[in-house]
Amino acid sequence: MTAFKTSARSAVVTGATSGIGRAVALALAEKHLNIAINGFGSEAEIEKVLTDLKAAGAKEAIHVPTDMSRVTEVEHFINEALKAFGEVDVLVNNAGIQHTALVEEFPVEKWEQVISINLSASFHSIRMCLPSMKAKNWGRIINIASVHGLVASTQKAAYVAAKHGLVGLTKVVALECADTGITCNAVCPGWVETPLVQKQVEAIAAVDGISIAEARHRLISEKQPSNRFVALDELAQFCLYLVSDLAGSITGSSLPIDGGWTAR
Ligand code: NAD
C-alpha cells in the first residue's frame, strides 16, 4: 500500500472542542501538523483538547476563542493561525449548530444563527485562507456539510438551507481553484453520535415518552439503513485521505458517509 503523504504543514479546524471537529483535528495531529482550533468549552476542556492534540503528535496546537457567527472573529481566528504558522494549507469548516421547528414557528434569530455559523462562517474562513493556499499552490478545504446538504428532513429549514448552501459554495471554490493544487470538497455525514445528535435523541425521548435507548433506535432506523451511527474515526480517516497528496483530483465533490441514507 502507498504510504500516506501530504504537503500539508498547518491546519485549521473550526469547532474542534467536541464531536467530529475534535476527531478530525486528532487525526491531523497524528500526521504532525500544526493545528489551530476554535470551539466553545470551559478552560479545562479546551486545555484537555490541546494536550490531546500534542500527545497525538501535533507540532503545535493553539486555540483561539472565536464565535463563528461573527465575521470579525472568524477573520481574527484565521489571522492568528497565519501569524502562528506562517501559512494555512488545510481548512476544515466544521463548527455547526442545529435547531428544529416547523418553518412557520422557526425563531428568526435561530435562522440567522444557523445560517451564519453553518454557512457564512465557511465563506469567511475560505476567503481568508485562499491567499495563503494560492501562494503555496497547494491547499485542502474540507467543508463538513451533512446528508442534509443533499436531501431534506422536516423541521430543519435553516440547517438544510445552510448545508445545501455549503455544498454550492464548495462547488464554486473548487471551480475557481480547479487549475491549482487546491481542492475543496464537502463531506456529508449521516447520523454520528455527538452532543449535537444527543440533544435530538433526548428531545424524541421527551416528546414521545420513551427511553433514551428507544429514542436512539428510532432516530437511526428512520433514516440510516446501516442501523448504526457513523463512527467518528470513519469520518476522520476519510478527511485525512482528502488531505493526502493522492486526493488531488477529488474536488468539488459532496461525499456522503451515511450508512446508505441518501441511497434510498
Ligand atoms: P458538536 O456539537 O459535538 O460540536 C460542534 C462544535 O462546534 C463544538 O466544538 C462547538 O463548540 C462548536 N461551535 C458551535 N457553535 C460555534 C460558534 N458560534 N463558534 C465557534 N464554535 C462553535 O457537533 P458535531 O456533531 O460534531 O457537528 C460538527 C459538524 O458536523 C457540524 O457542522 C454538523 O452540522 C455536522 N454534522 C453532524 C452530524 C451528526 O450526526 N453529528 C451529521 C452531519 C453533519
Supply the pLDDT for residue 65: 98
Q: Which amino acid is it at 52?
A: D
Rounded Cα–Cα distance for residues 75 and 179 (Å): 26
> What grid cell was written down for 118?
453553518
Q: Find the residues whose C-beta lies inside 6 A of ligand 1.
A: 15-21, 38-40, 66-69, 94-97, 117-118, 144, 146, 189, 191-192, 194-197
User: Ligand 1: which atom is nearest the Cα of residue 229?
Assistant: 40
CB-CB contact of 28 with 90 (8 Å): yes
Which amino acid residue places its CA nearest to atom 23 of ligand 1?
196
CB-CB contact of 2 with 81 (8 Å): no
122 CA → ligand 1 middle, Å:
13
Supply the pLDDT for residue 230: 97
Supply the pLDDT for residue 2: 80
Supply the pLDDT for residue 111: 98
User: Ligand 1: which atom is nearest the Cα of residue 67?
Assistant: 19
User: Ligand 1: which atom is nearest the Cα of residue 147?
Assistant: 43
Supply the pLDDT for residue 172: 99
Q: Which amino acid is it at 229?
A: F
Rounded Cα–Cα distance for residues 36 and 1 (Å): 30
Angle between helices 108-115 and 157-176 (to 10 degrees): 20
Question: Kind of pairing, strands 139-144 and 182-189?
Answer: parallel
pLDDT in tens, the chain (264 residues): 688 999 999 999 999 999 999 999 999 999 999 999 999 999 999 999 999 999 999 999 999 999 999 999 999 999 999 999 999 999 999 999 999 999 999 999 999 999 999 999 999 999 999 999 999 999 999 999 999 999 999 999 999 999 999 999 999 999 999 999 999 999 999 999 999 899 989 999 999 999 999 999 999 999 999 999 999 999 999 999 999 999 999 999 999 999 999 999
> How many CB atoms within 10 Å of residue 190?
22
> How many CB atoms within 10 Å of residue 49?
22
Supply the pLDDT for residue 48: 98
Q: How many CA atoms lie within 13 A of 250 on its CB side?
A: 19
Which amino acid residue places its CA nearest to atom 33 of ligand 1?
96
> How many CB atoms within 10 Å of residue 206?
11
10 CA → ligand 1 middle, Å:
21
Which of 97, 196, 261 for a ligand 1 pocket mutation test, highest count of atoms within 8 Å of Cβ? 196
HEC states along the chain? CCCCCCCCCEEEECCCCCHHHHHHHHHHHCCCCEEEECCCCCHHHHHHHHHHHHHHCCCCEEECCCCCCCHHHHHHHHHHHHHHHCCCCEEEECCCCCCCECHHHCCHHHHHHHHHHHHHHHHHHHHHHHHHHHHHCCEEEEEECCHHHCCCCCCEHHHHHHHHHHHHHHHHHHHHCCCCCEEEEEEEECCECCHHHHHHHHHHHHHHCCCHHHHHHHHHHHHCCCCCCECHHHHHHHHHHHHCHHHCCCCCCEEEECCCHHHC
CB-CB contact of 39 with 16 (8 Å): yes
Q: Which residues are catalytic?
A: 159
User: Ligand 1: which atom is nearest the Cα of residue 73?
Assistant: 19
Going by C-alpha positions, the residue among 214, 193, 216, 114 that lies closest to residue 155 is 114
Instruction: Using alpha carbons, list the distances in angstroms from residue 27 to 30, 66, 223.
Output: 5, 22, 28
Class of domain 10-190+230-258: alpha beta
Which of 49, 64, 194 for a ligand 1 pocket mutation test, highest count of atoms within 8 Å of Cβ? 194
Q: Which amino acid is it at 25?
A: A
